[in-house]
Chain A
């Protein structure tokens, strides 16, 4: 019993450390990508090639003054960023990063835990993540925050439907909610032909899932309720210093989560050439695919203009949702007709 407990603790701590570093360097990557797309160099002063920039940013944010607005609802004001951050961190224990490696004579499976309902667990955490935003908007005692919070959470719940329904299409093929099993089923010839994205209806479902996840994590082009020049930064207007950092961390963590889920569901997770012989390649492939999706999200951010809020809601309900439903019908029909 203690063996398993120690294993869990070590895996969880390693994952948390990797995540915190990843979030910090994602902010750096975002600024670099923004720079390159805008034909300039991003931050490159603070260390070799600017690599210590996240450290400088972090230190700056720690020393900023923490202003709590006077009439705000103090308890909720402090709780809201934690309510946003904690579910974002909790999703990473069910994602498989590799098959298994042998270290010090023990076989270690590269996922923290394996749940029969892993995918639903992630869906549940996304549903709980809405509360951080709506409570932040309310507790700030600022009408722009309230409007931004309500709009942002209404957007999140609208696109959560399209997200959930696109997951159903994948479930029709894989027959299990367990992410480990979904990834295991995607190993084809030389590790790349079995990916879900190469099956007929699922290539479109991947696009729906990706767009819905961009909207779910409040990334551009869906970031009207929180963009810097609209609605005075929306629900995190009144937040300063570390609470603001927690919101930004939660946003980047959600981006990493959606990219990781997308690679696990559609791009074959850790599958790739020669993974059977060299299991350490599993996490490498996984990280590469997730980074490609993250880079694409950043690329889209600096290429496409923002949606107006009513266009966004209309798109979510009248286009994404019906297309997801039709995809489920088509996938089920394909499975029934061609077993």
Chain B
């Protein structure tokens, strides 16, 4: 049982990392979008290994099913061409990027290595750790502990609707 879960984890983690790399390495933006979809599906599988089934399925419904459809529509509407190789204008930036990348990697290592050592403030004492991603716990905590963020989210969505419609429409269209 343990071995199977380790194998599954590594398979989906590798799929996620490889498809994420593929996003960067593809010239055609549509292929990058498809690689992003594969990344999101692998992440969803990883959520399943963490017993968060509701989050896993919602990830597919919202992220891979709605947001990526939006991305693909935009790529198709704008007819974004495949990226052409360009001549680098400012060569000095390349040498500036290396220390910054090093700082980012060092930060990531620091965060990952200190996971076991600090206390996590999020999960309140007394709840089962396995019950975090389930529908019941999300439903009840959404309306008891996290009520204000929930209502603010509705206003946020309204803002997004109005904003998108205003920005994308030209007058007289």
Q: Which residue numbers of A lie inside 8 Å of B, CB to CB?
A: 73, 76, 115-117, 120-121, 123-124, 127-128, 130-131, 134-135, 138, 146, 150, 153, 157, 177
Contacts and interface: CB of A to CB of B under 8 A. Distances in A.
Of the four ranges (under 10, 10 to 19, 20 to 34, 35 or more), the interface on chain B belongs to: 10 to 19
A116 B131 CA distance: 13
Contacts of A134: 69, 72-73, 76
Interface stretch (B55-63, B84-92, B147-155): B55-63
B66 A120 contact: no
Contacts of B58: 120
B61 A153 contact: no
A130 B60 CA distance: 13
B140 interface: no
Given A116-B135, A138-B76, A153 B57 contact: no
B69 A131 contact: yes
A115 B60 CA distance: 16
B30 interface: yes
Interface of B: 30, 37, 53-54, 57-58, 60-61, 64-66, 69, 72-73, 76, 134-135
B54 A117 contact: yes
Nearest to A130: B69
B135 A127 contact: no
Nearest to A178: B135
A150 B66 contact: no
Overall SS of chain A's interface: helix
B54 A146 contact: no
A147 to B, nearest CB: 11
Contacts of A150: 73, 76
Contacts of A128: 60, 64-65
Contacts, number: 53
Between B61, B64, B72, B73, the greatest number of chain A beta carbons within 10 A of the residue's beta carbon is seen for: B61
A76 B69 contact: no
A117 B135 contact: yes
Given A117-B53, A138-B30, A131 B61 contact: no
A146 B60 CA distance: 25
A120 B64 contact: no
Contacts of A135: 30, 72
Contacts of B72: 131, 134-135
Contacts of B37: 131
A117 B53 CA distance: 7
Contacts of A76: 30
A158 B113 CA distance: 45
A312 B72 CA distance: 22
Report, nearest first, the 6 A-B pairs whose CB atoms are least far apart.
A127-B65, A124-B60, A120-B57, A124-B61, A117-B57, A117-B53
A128 to B, nearest CB: 6
Given A134-B76, A150-B76, 17 more contacts: A116-B135, A117-B57, A117-B135, A121-B57, A123-B61, A127-B60, A127-B61, A127-B65, A127-B66, A128-B64, A128-B65, A130-B65, A131-B37, A134-B72, A138-B30, A146-B76, A153-B73
B76 A120 contact: no
Nearest to A119: B57
Contacts of A123: 57, 61
Contacts of A157: 66, 69
19 contacts: A73-B30, A76-B30, A116-B53, A116-B54, A117-B54, A120-B54, A120-B61, A124-B60, A124-B64, A127-B65, A127-B69, A128-B64, A130-B65, A134-B76, A135-B72, A138-B30, A150-B73, A153-B73, A157-B69
A120 B135 CA distance: 11
Nearest to B53: A117
Contacts of B73: 134, 150, 153
Between B57, B64, B73, B135, the greatest number of chain A beta carbons within 10 A of the residue's beta carbon is seen for: B57
Contacts of A177: 135
Nearest to A1: B1
